[in-house]
């Protein structure tokens, strides 16, 4: 039986992609989730990476930051 090298070569980029996606640094993620009940994407347009200068905040994220890292009443009632 001959080994087919095409399948592993096709799967390699897919595996690398998933490793990159799921290896982000989520130091604040668990604490934030526990305190607010919101997902990361509630405040971020994409998940920031360690060392990023731009936290990639959306409007809710900017409001959360400017409110002393606390949700406003409107944000608490807003779905994810």
Q: What is the pLDDT of residues 16-31, one digit of tens each?
A: 777 766 555 555 667 7
What pLDDT was estimated at residue 13? 81
Enter the pTM of the model. 0.58
**What is the C-alpha separation between 31 and 40, in angstroms, rounded?**
11
What pLDDT was estimated at residue 75? 93
Residue 61 · residue 44 · CB < 8 Å: yes
Q: Tokens for 49?
A: 């990476």
- Indicate the average pLDDT of the chain: 80
pLDDT digits (tens, 9 = 90+) for 40-57: 889 989 877 778 888 889
**What is the C-alpha separation between 60 and 63, in angstroms, rounded?**
5
What DSSP designation does 3 have? -
């Amino acid at each position: 039986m001959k080994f087919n090298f095409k399948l592993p070569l096709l799967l390699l980029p897919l595996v690398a992609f998933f490793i990159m996606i799921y290896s982000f640094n989520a130091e604040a993620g668990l604490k934030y989730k526990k305190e607010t009940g919101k997902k990361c994407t509630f405040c971020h347009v994409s998940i920031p990476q360690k060392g990023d200068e731009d936290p990639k905040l959306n409007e809710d994220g900017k409001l959360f930051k400017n409110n002393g890292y606390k949700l406003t009443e409107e944000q608490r009632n807003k779905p994810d």
